[in-house]
Structure 1
Amino acid sequence: MFGEVFKKLRKSKHITLEAISKDVISTSQLSRWENGLSDISLNKLIILLNQINVSPQEFIAMTIPENNETNNFLKNLSLLYSEKDSISIYRIFLKNIAAYHHTNNVDYLFHASAAANVLFDIKNKNYLTPQDQQDLKLFLTQNNHWNLSTIQAFGNSGFILPNNTVFQLINSLIEDIVYLENINFEFYLEAWNTIINNSLILVKTDFKKSKLLLARIKELSYTEPYLSITVKVNFLELLIHYREDGNSEPIKRFLESAKVLGIPNLYNDLLSGWALLKLNS
């Protein structure tokens, strides 16, 4: 699917195989990938995307089917969150948690957890019971490796799980990051976003653990051309320094620099992280 989407983008910009593959990949290999006959490395894909001025986030969004149930659910939840419609979100939570208790279908638990996570951010109240939290942790850790479903579920439950559980799960995801990079571009990017975003939560809720995670994250080798990873890791470090010395000027300068990059989604993510740390701090 990735190759087919890339091919359409390349042709829409009237760029030939020969021109875009020069000094990056052989023309024949790129052609095979575009036609679903082979794979290419993450590094090469990001370089190719840069040449057609498409960000990895935009590319991923283009490859997600419109009828994807979880994707549609999260889009709707995000819209309700932007409107601070806690009543509708609470109804969604009740519907899904009841369905989970009735069927034991983990998809309902993942949806209920995402709704509860948003409600916590709005109302500062955790609607997920300790038993449901334990069930969620069990489902997230029962496989040998993380997958897109479990990564997304963890990414949408950082507020409502105990700090120790969040810390353990982030470490588990870090341990799987090389595996994810090798098997799936989308899994890898989603994993990095989840690692950093949930680490940002711990900066506020369990500072010592967030410092331990930052040290481990900085030891990792991550794909440099993917700009948002580099930016978010650096921002995480600045937030930790802010918690230590109370000096917000480096963060304000960083946000101004990030704004110049012209990537609204990334800039908004940074603003959300900064707002989270300032709230009641």
Structure 2
Amino acid sequence: MIIDAYAAGIVLYKPDLDRLKDSLNAITPQVKFVYCFNNGLGDNPGAINTVLHTYSNVIVIGDGQNIGIASALNALVQRAHDDGMTWILTLDQDSVVSEDTIASLAKLTSEDKVAIICPQIEDERRKNEPISHDFPPIEDIDDCITSGSFMNIDKTLSVGGFDSRLFIDLVDDEICHRIKLSGYRIIRNNSVILNHECGILAPSKYEHFWLKMGMLMHSDILQRLSHKREVNPMRLYYVTRNMVYLNRKYRKNSNPMWSTKRLIRNSISSILRGKNKIVLIKNIIIGIRDGKTMNIEY
């Protein structure tokens, strides 16, 4: 079912060609337009452009300059608004929706004051975080990731869109926080599942041992040891910087997602897991310094 006022938006940055095909094959039949923002197509732009232009309802915007995820998302939302769309499903380039995702999420668009409708997220690699079947069919939540967020375009624009200063990381946390502060709702349709890979992960050597021990001890921390997460020094810089920035921006409306305690915990965890610890420590220090001096965007 295609609704004329519904769109999807994908930010492209060095996408995997096959996964992008899967994503487009899944979403293009469900919406009027799929807007793809070119933040840089990588080493094979010709092949990717060929794929993008095989779909009659895919519209490519952006010139290949990486302007950051937040600014790219703002461009997608604004283009959808200009084309008369009312709701947009934001997706990561490697997220593949089910065939009834839009129809299922759209059933809740008439809910009072709803700004975002989202699905449950399933990362099949994170065996310690299985999909829950105990949740109510529909529930109000505080935050959700960008991928799979079915966003009301007018309400998104009314709160100022995404904070372009963040560039990458915590972009979704920040807009969810601002949406809630503005009196709007974020609701999750728990019957809809989105297959999405969160971060670069690999199973640990003793995956099954840690899963079993975590279940026996009722410990999420032990279960998390079942997989290893790769620490990217550049991403650690942005996470650190953005946590400090958001702590300053929302000093009167603090949020535990970017509290000083979480910043310390994330820094220690990243240093312990990462390979080049000196580089990681330097990036944390620089991130803290830069986060303290960024101009705040309201």
TM-score using structure 2 length: 0.29
TM-score using structure 1 length: 0.30
Larger RCO (CA within 8 A; separation ≥ 6)? 2
